[in-house]
Amino acid sequence: MKKRVRFLTTDVICLSGALGAAAVLAFFVDYRLGIAVLLAALLLIVLYVLLVTLRRIRCQQLVMKALSEPEKSTYLNTMAIPTALVTPSGSVKWANLTFRNLVGFGAMRNIERMIPGISKPDKDKKVVIDGKAYKKELTVLHNRGRELFLYRLIDPENSVEAKKLYQHFLPIVCHVLIDNYDELAAEVQQTELTELVAAVDRRVAAMAKSVSGYFARVDRGRYLCVFERRYLSTLRNTRFGILDEVRQIKSVYSPTLSIAIGVGDTLEQSGDYAGKALELALSRGGDQAVIKQGDQFSFFGGATRTVFRRSKVKSRMISHALRNLMEQCSDVFVMGHETPDLDCIGASMGICACARHVGKKAYLVIDNPNPSIELLMERIRSTDVYASSILSGQEAAMRISPSSMLVVVDTQLADFTVAPRLLEMADTLVVIDHHIRGTSGIENAALFYHDTNASSVCELVTELMQYFGDDLKPLPVELEALLCGITLDTKGFSFNTGVRTFEAASYLRRLGADTTVTRQLVQDDFNTFLAKTEIVKNAEIMGGVAIAVCPEGLSKTSLIVAQAADALLTIRGIIASFVVSRVDDNVVISGRSLGEVNVQLILESMGGGGHATVAAVKLPGADVVEAVTQLKEAINKYTKEYMKEG
């Protein structure tokens, strides 16, 4: 039969008995001495009890702190588990009632004597008490520079894994936004807008109800939902059908939603994740759902083309901010992606014109330009202003300083820039891009201007120039480069062209851009035309999607591949095209679309990116045949998931 003695009782009884005996003996000698000894004994007993109680409280706090974090607490109701705090010598400093009841905690307080074998190496996790096996769980704690061991004895038959249960019921945060609310408010009557918002309200409320969640409208066109993690699979399985439901609301301008969900280990972290997911959803064009869980992102929807925005408020604000930053720096360095094209170079020159307007020296950072810009580069080098302003990545690294401004255009991926190391060398960093944003990108930019609705980055820069200063006077070569970039990315104003695209082109023409020169700059030579024709002739057509392979050994491969993909779209019945080519040790796939197919989503699944109608991916060390097979699988997956969504 085990002893069921409460903690500290034996020590207190022994101490009290010894001091009481001393007091009795003192009374026989002198009653005054006896009173003094008795008072001293009572004081010692009280102090002893207080000290031990404080020690016990400290031990309890240490244990509770160790067990309070969900990621460290493996089991539910931890204080119902036999638990003891032990010194390296084996002395038990504290034990809960469950432990004391299990082992008969009394005067003997050495863990090894109470439970023989418990101190064996940690790989031996099983201990036996009264014929029953328990799983030993050991945690090393540090308290005031001392090492302590926390033992827990888990009953495998009755334990419940709390971490899984905790995550199962963890509240997660969901932001829902009518991402084209401003356009709706500007284009429809107030009564119709009220009806549209009410229709969206009902659908968002139904979504919240389907996951047993809390739902509230927190602003115009903005909602907050909170629900338990176990219901997230419900939304995943339906692939966020609410996106289609809202898009199908009958109106001249249909509303679209951006849904962002954050899944963290705490409610605060989930809220932070949801905010970042919403930012990413909007930067990718909206009309989609994004889930952020840890470092991972999941995307749903986003197959439709984005709605063109008409407001230029953001452009004006960014332009003023860019000017203020430029005025504070010593000089300006502008670079784009590796192998820059006309859009990249045109935008870079537009930024140089802005820098020159505020009296700052500007440098173009260019390495290995795209063959399509050979004629333009000749014109640039022959211009006095740029004769000494074109630098390689290595030359720029020698001149740039912390007081310089670095402007990155036409990309937001550090590894894709001409010279990634420059990103760490300037204190002021600006990024301007129109491609759909991925999960990784350049961080810590002082100014980040990103608009997926723009046809090109040249369009974005042209808008900034309109608000940069009334007396801004770009050079003719700069105007023509900007117009070339817009013309190239819109395929002669036939793709991804909005009202603002024509307004930007009109501004450039008004300042003196020569359309004849622009046409000459985008012309092909005869050999390029023949190579492009050969690729188109051997294309394979599957369900309106053309796949072609570029022969090896061609010069100007990147230029020919892009133009072949464009040429395939001029054939009746083809709605999207992909051209596969080998460039050095990599396989590059260039994708184009008329808009019905989102080539960005297809190539993003292979590690690439771009825009809904223009995208690409680079597969290092891949084989062309394997790349074509992988591409077909990605197309089939996209067709099953998105084409039925319309």
Cα torsion 490, 577, 549, 586: sign: positive
Q: What is the pLDDT of residue 164?
A: 66
Give the pLDDT band (50/70/90) at residue 368.
Answer: confident
Phi then psi dihedrals of residue 391, to 5 deg = -120, 150
| pLDDT, greater one: 127 or 44 | 127
Strands 576-583 and 331-335: unpaired
Residue 137's pLDDT is what?
82
Q: What's the pLDDT tens digit per position in 400-419?
A: 999 999 999 999 888 889 99
The whole-chain average pLDDT of the chain stands at 83
- Give 637's Cβ-side CA count (13 Å radius): 13
- Average pLDDT on 156-165 reads 62
Q: How many CB atoms lie within 10 A of CB 11?
A: 14
In the predicted structure, residue 63 carries a pLDDT above the cut 70: no
From residue 179, give the alpha-carbon distance in Å to each of 173, 258, 318: 18, 6, 20
Taking CA atoms, 599 is separated from 42, 217, 512, in Å, by 86, 34, 36
**pLDDT band at residue 481, thresholds of 50, 70 and 90?**
very high
pLDDT exceeds 60 at position 9:
no
Q: Binning pLDDT at 50, 70 and 90, where does residue 312 land? A: confident
Tens-place pLDDT, residues 500-515: 899 999 999 999 999 8
CA distances from 31 to 16, 27, 614 (A): 19, 4, 104
User: What is the number of helices (H) and of strands (E) in the chain?
Assistant: 22, 23
pLDDT at 71 over 60: no
The answer, yes or no, to whether residue 1 has pLDDT greater than 50, is no
Stated pTM of the model: 0.63
pLDDT at 76: 36
pLDDT class of 10 with cuts at 50, 70, 90? low
Lowest mean pLDDT among 266-280, 392-406, 457-471: 266-280
What is residue 147's predicted lDDT score, i.e. its pLDDT?
80
Task: Look up residue 477 and give its two tokens.
Answer: 């070569």
The residue with greater pLDDT, 117 or 318, is 318
Q: What is the mean pLDDT of residues 469-497?
A: 90
What is the pLDDT confidence band of residue 548, given thresholds at 50, 70 and 90? Answer: very high
Tell me, what amino acid is at 330?
S
Cα–Cα dist 598/604, whole Å? 10
pLDDT band at 23 (very low <50, low <70, confident <90, very high): low
DSSP designation for 490: T
**CB distance 547 to 633 below 8 Å:** no
Give the model confidence (pLDDT) of 203-259 as tens digits: 999 999 999 999 899 888 899 999 999 899 889 888 888 988 888 887 766 788 888
**Predicted confidence band at 630 (pLDDT cuts at 50, 70, 90)?**
very high
- Bridge-based pairing of strands 257-263 and 171-178 is antiparallel
Q: What is the pLDDT of residue 501?
A: 92
Position 324 pLDDT exceeds 90: yes
Question: Quick one: average pLDDT of 37-44?
Answer: 74
Tell me what pLDDT residue 124 has.
Answer: 60
Quick one: pLDDT band at residue 631, thresholds 50, 70, 90?
A: very high
In the chain, the N- to C-terminal Cα span, in Å, equals: 76
Question: Is-contact 108 102, C-beta < 8 A?
Answer: no
Has residue 8 got a pLDDT over 60?
no
- What the chain holds in terms of domains, given with CATH numbers, is 9-155 (3.30.450), 170-301 (3.30.70.270), 313-521 (3.90.1640.10), 527-645 (3.10.310.30)
- The Cα–Cα gap between 252 and 255 comes to 10
Q: Decide if pLDDT at 72 tops 80.
A: no
Top-confidence range, 172-186, 241-255, 415-429, 555-569: 415-429
Which element (helix H / strand E) includes 139? strand 132-143
Average pLDDT score over residue span 103-107: 64
Q: Tell me if residue 287 falls in helix, strand or coil.
A: coil
Q: How far is CA 504 from the centre of its chain?
A: 32
Mean pLDDT along residues 292-300 = 86
Q: Which residues of 421-434 are buried (b: 16+ CB within 10 A; e: fewer)?
A: ebbebbebbbbbbb
Mean pLDDT of 169-179: 89
For residue 450, pLDDT over 50 is answered with: yes
pLDDT in tens, 566-603: 999 999 999 999 999 998 888 999 999 988 898 988 99
Tokens at residue 139, please? 């945690």
Q: Which of 470, 473, 474, 454 is CA-nearest to residue 346?
A: 474
pLDDT over threshold 90, residue 479: yes
Chain CA centroid to CA 213, Å: 25
Looking at residue 60, what is its pLDDT? 60
Distance of alpha carbon 340 from alpha carbon 3, whole angstroms? 83
**Partners of residue 31 on adjacent β-strands:** none
Residue pLDDT, tens place only, 484-494: 999 988 888 88
| pLDDT above 50 (res 70) | no
Overall average pLDDT of the 610-625 stretch: 87
Q: Report d(CA 351, CA 461) in Å as an integer.
A: 7
AA letter at 214: Y
pLDDT recorded at residue 144: 63
The stretch 89-100 carries a mean pLDDT of 81
Helix (H/G/I), strand (E/B), else coil: 445: coil
Question: At residue 106, does pLDDT exceed 80?
Answer: no
Q: Is the pLDDT of residue 141 over 90?
A: no
Average pLDDT over residues 188-211: 90
Lowest mean pLDDT among 99-113, 405-419, 533-547, 605-619: 99-113
Q: Measured between alpha carbons, how far is 336 from 408 in angstroms, rounded to an integer?
A: 5
CA atoms within 13 A on the CB side of 62: 25
> Which positions ≥6 away from 472 have C-beta within 8 Å?
353, 354, 357, 465
What residues pair up with 134 in beta bridges, in sequence order? Answer: 127
Q: Provide the pLDDT for residue 474.
A: 95
Contacts of 6 (CB under 8 A, 6+ apart): 100
Question: Would you call 107 exposed, middle or buried from its count of C-beta atoms within 10 A (0-12, 13-18, 19+)?
Answer: exposed
DSSP string, 450-485: E-TTSS-HHHHHHHHHHTT-TT----HHHHHHHHHH
Kindly tell me the sign of the dihedral angle through the C-alpha atoms of 449, 502, 611, 260: positive
In the chain, the percentage of residues whose pLDDT exceeds 70 is 84
pLDDT of residue 73 exceeding 50, the answer is no
* Tokens 């046409």, residue located: 519
